[in-house]
């Protein structure tokens, strides 16, 4: 018998595969570094907006236990040492990775947000408003957050990593310039396991830490449909974001 | 010697009322199990005036009665088990197992003294040109609330060439979260509700980062983190070991501590504890809080990469 969680797991995996296919349409592997940096600089606007997404969800959630899980993840973005001294934030580490990839400070700071990036960013925030006011609000919020801000982020970086690795090294490597942002997020944001798969040893990725709260919220068919809908909405927004770069792929093809 | 002394001591106790002849039989009992009645008889015959086997058997029966050995089956193994149990509970038995003292909570000064003795011994042996094989410092904890207190000792130990091994919980493990929840819910500690194991392990790693910075290298310092269930706190300084269980109601350092001598002849307790440390050491993952390096990100993915 296929359980509701099985259906959701299959749906997620199908969306992830479709997303990878979509990213491959951008022909990342053959892009010039100028084009690649343009994608990453636009992508940075979504990274900056993650804080707003997280803060909205924390305020909107009613469950204290889910709120705690979401808050823990958000606070990891702004680490402090145990004496309370603020350390370099993940936003700053992203900036460093972009510099190390070859972008200039001006390029990062003065390339404006493209209209489509802005549209995706604002629609992502308004999608959270759509999560409110119905019986499955908590589920909708955590489902959208998990897929938009964690699961797909890791997939994006996983697809980009072969190119990023031309100029950045995994942190374990003693050679080259170590990635301080992309590599870690590729690892600790990822889906890692199916919803409902419990494990007691090892650690949880961000996606898994949020996933722990989902099964108990899927108690009927309408809840399942809501969770799938949020996965789809997150997917559509991310696909839309990358669609603006298809021109790179086709320009590359026509140059050949 | 101590077994014989113990047999003489228990045989002389008034409550058992043994005669000198019966005591002579008791003194022929070996400490290790498996001695048959025939072997006991032969041992007796070798060092005492020979007697008939029937008389010897009768003497044994009286001994069983006097020691209240009344269980079914062969009585001699029961008598042996009874005496061994008494021996282990006697003072000589505890010393043989390495149990030196029991402290009500973590003996801060005692451990500092042990570290000082280890330092002195290491420096003296080095002067003599002999390497110190088992003179290591080892700590097993979820997080060590007193680690900062020993920062200076750790720095000096490393400078003297002492191996230092620290085994802590990986702060993002579910097991660490479970320990945190247990303490929050059940511990009678002040501030119990504010326990945050993540922050506490990070504080330990910051202390160790400071140790590395001070020594300009991590030479001799090994740190590993585990994702399994914490159940035991160990603090070792050379031949001295402090061990405490993780109870629901308190931090391990606020729980009674067994002070153990690792040079004890019977390794029932010390060997079991040390081998559990080694088992955890094997499954744990190496980690170094390298100064001026973004090690918090490495820490986050230690078990998920």
With bands split at pLDDT 50, 70 and 90, how would you rate the model's confidence at A255?
A: very low
Q: Does B49 touch chain A (CB under 8 A)?
A: no
Q: Does B148 touch chain A (CB under 8 A)?
A: no
| pLDDT averaged over every residue in chain A | 92
Minimal CA separation from A203 to chain B, in Å: 5
Q: Are residues B144 and B176 in the same domain?
A: yes
Minimal CA separation from B165 to chain A, in Å: 22
Question: Pick from B108, B89, B109, B86: which is nearest to B99 by CA?
Answer: B89
- The helix/strand/coil state of A212 is coil
Let me know if residue B227 belongs to a domain: yes
Q: Are residues B119 and B216 in the same domain?
A: yes
State yes or no: pLDDT of A113 exceeds 70. yes
Question: Pick from A140, A154, A155: which is nearest to A232 by CA?
Answer: A140
Nearest CA in chain A to B297: A184
State yes or no: pLDDT of B86 exceeds 50. yes
Let me know if residue B221 belongs to a domain: yes
With bands split at pLDDT 50, 70 and 90, how would you rate the model's confidence at B217?
A: confident
Q: What is the ipTM for the molecules in this complex?
A: 0.83
Note whether A81 contacts B199, CB cutoff 8 Å. Answer: no
Chain center to CA of B286: 24
Q: What is the mean pLDDT of residues A153-163?
A: 95
Note whether B301 contacts A76, CB cutoff 8 Å. Answer: no
Q: Does B175 touch chain A (CB under 8 A)?
A: yes
pLDDT per residue over B160-215, tens digit each? Answer: 999 999 999 999 998 888 888 888 888 877 777 777 888 899 999 999 999 999 98
Option in A79, A200, A203 nearest B296 (CB)? A79
Predicted TM-score (pTM) of the model is 0.79
Which of these three, B36, B60, B95, is where a domain ends? B95
Interface test with B, best of A84, A202, A208, A212 (most B CBs within 10 A): A202
With bands split at pLDDT 50, 70 and 90, how would you rate the model's confidence at A200?
A: confident
Chain center to CA of A221: 27
A window 143-182, beta carbon within 8 A of B: 171-172, 180
State yes or no: pLDDT of B135 exceeds 70. yes
Nearest CA in chain B to A203: B173
- All residues at 6 or more sequence positions from A134 whose CB lies less than 8 Å from its CB, including other chains: A140, A226
Let me know if residue B63 belongs to a domain: yes
Decide if B129 contacts B161 (C-beta within 8 A): no
Q: How far apart are CA B83 and CA B78, in angstroms?
A: 9
Interface test with B, best of A69, A76, A80, A82 (most B CBs within 10 A): A82
Q: Are residues B66 and B110 in the same domain?
A: no
With bands split at pLDDT 50, 70 and 90, how would you rate the model's confidence at A252?
A: low
**Residues in chain B, how many?**
305
pLDDT at residue B129, as a whole number: 46
Let me know if residue B148 belongs to a domain: yes
| pLDDT averaged over every residue in chain B | 89
pLDDT at residue A250, as a whole number: 62
To the nearest 10 degrees (0 to 180), the angle between helices A137-146 and A115-130 is 150
CA atoms in the 13 A half-sphere facing the CB of B209: 16
Domain containing residue B152: CATH number: 3.30.870.10
Q: Does B205 touch chain A (CB under 8 A)?
A: no
Decide if B25 contacts B76 (C-beta within 8 A): no
Which of these three, B63, B95, B127, is where a domain ends? B95
Option in A83, A171, A201 nearest B227 (CB)? A201
Let me know if residue B186 belongs to a domain: yes
Domains in chain A with CATH codes: 4-255 (1.20.910.10)
Let me know if residue B305 belongs to a domain: no
Q: Are residues B10 and B126 in the same domain?
A: no
Query: How does DSSP assign A103-141, residue by residue?
Result: --HHHHHHSPPPHHHHHHHHHHHHHHHHTSSSTTHHHHH
Residue B84 lies in domain: 2-95
Option in B173, B200, B296 nearest A203 (CB)? B173
Which of these three, B95, B116, B150, is where a domain ends? B95
Q: Are residues B207 and B287 in the same domain?
A: yes
């Amino acid at each position: 018998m296929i359980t509701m969680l099985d259906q959701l797991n299959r749906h997620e995996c199908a969306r992830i595969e479709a997303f990878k296919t979509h990213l491959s349409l951008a022909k990342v592997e053959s892009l010039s570094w100028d084009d690649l940096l343009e994608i990453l600089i636009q992508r940075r606007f979504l990274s900056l907006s993650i804080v707003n997404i997280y803060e909205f969800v924390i305020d909107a959630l009613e469950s204290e236990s889910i709120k705690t899980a979401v808050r823990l993840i958000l606070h990891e973005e702004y680490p402090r040492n145990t004496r309370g001294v603020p350390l370099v934030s993940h936003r700053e580490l992203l900036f460093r990775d972009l510099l190390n990839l070859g972008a200039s400070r001006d390029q990062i700071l003065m390339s404006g947000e493209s209209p489509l990036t802005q549209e995706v960013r604002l629609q992502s925030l308004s999608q959270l408003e759509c999560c409110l006011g119905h019986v499955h609000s908590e589920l909708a919020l955590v489902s959208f957050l998990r897929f938009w801000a964690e699961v797909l982020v890791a997939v994006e970086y996983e697809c980009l990593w072969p190119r990023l690795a031309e100029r950045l090294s995994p942190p374990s490597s003693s050679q080259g310039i170590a990635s301080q942002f992309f590599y870690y997020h590729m690892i600790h944001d990822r889906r890692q396991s199916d919803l409902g798969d419990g494990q007691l040893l090892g650690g949880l990725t961000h996606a898994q830490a949020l996933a722990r709260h989902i099964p108990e919220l899927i108690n009927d068919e309408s809840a399942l449909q809501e969770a799938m809908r949020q996965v789809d909405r997150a997917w559509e927004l991310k696909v839309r974001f990358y669609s603006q770069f298809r021109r790179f792929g086709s320009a590359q093809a026509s140059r050949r | 010697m101590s077994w014989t002394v113990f047999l003489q001591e228990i045989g002389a106790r008034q409550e058992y009322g043994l005669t000198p002849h019966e005591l002579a039989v008791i003194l022929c009992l070996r400490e290790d199990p498996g001695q048959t009645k025939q072997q006991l008889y032969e041992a007796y015959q070798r060092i005492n005036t020979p007697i008939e086997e029937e008389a010897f058997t009768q003497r044994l029966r009286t001994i069983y009665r006097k020691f209240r050995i009344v269980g079914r089956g062969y009585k001699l193994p029961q008598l042996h088990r009874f005496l061994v149990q008494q021996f282990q509970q006697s003072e000589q038995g505890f010393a043989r197992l390495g149990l030196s003292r029991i402290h009500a909570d973590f003996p801060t000064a005692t451990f500092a003294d042990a570290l000082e003795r280890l330092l002195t011994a290491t420096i003296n042996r080095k002067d003599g040109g002999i390497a110190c094989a088992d003179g290591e410092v080892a700590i097993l904890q979820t997080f060590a609330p007193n680690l900062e207190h020993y920062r200076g000792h750790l720095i000096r130990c490393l400078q003297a060439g002492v191996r230092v091994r620290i085994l802590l919980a990986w702060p993002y493990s579910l097991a660490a979260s479970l320990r945190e929840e247990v303490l929050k819910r059940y511990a009678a500690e002040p501030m119990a509700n504010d326990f945050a194991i993540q922050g506490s392990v990070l504080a330990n790693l910051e202390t160790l980062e400071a140790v590395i910075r001070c020594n300009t290298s991590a030479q001799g310092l090994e740190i590993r983190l585990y994702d399994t269930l914490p159940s035991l706190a160990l603090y070792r300084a050379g031949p001295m070991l402090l061990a405490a269980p993780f109870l629901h109601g308190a931090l391990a350092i606020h729980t009674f501590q067994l002070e153990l001598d690792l040079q004890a002849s019977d390794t029932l307790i010390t060997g079991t504890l040390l081998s559990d440390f080694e088992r955890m050491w094997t499954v744990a993952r190496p980690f170094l809080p390298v100064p001026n390096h973004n090690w918090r990100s490495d820490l986050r993915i230690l078990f998920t990469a």
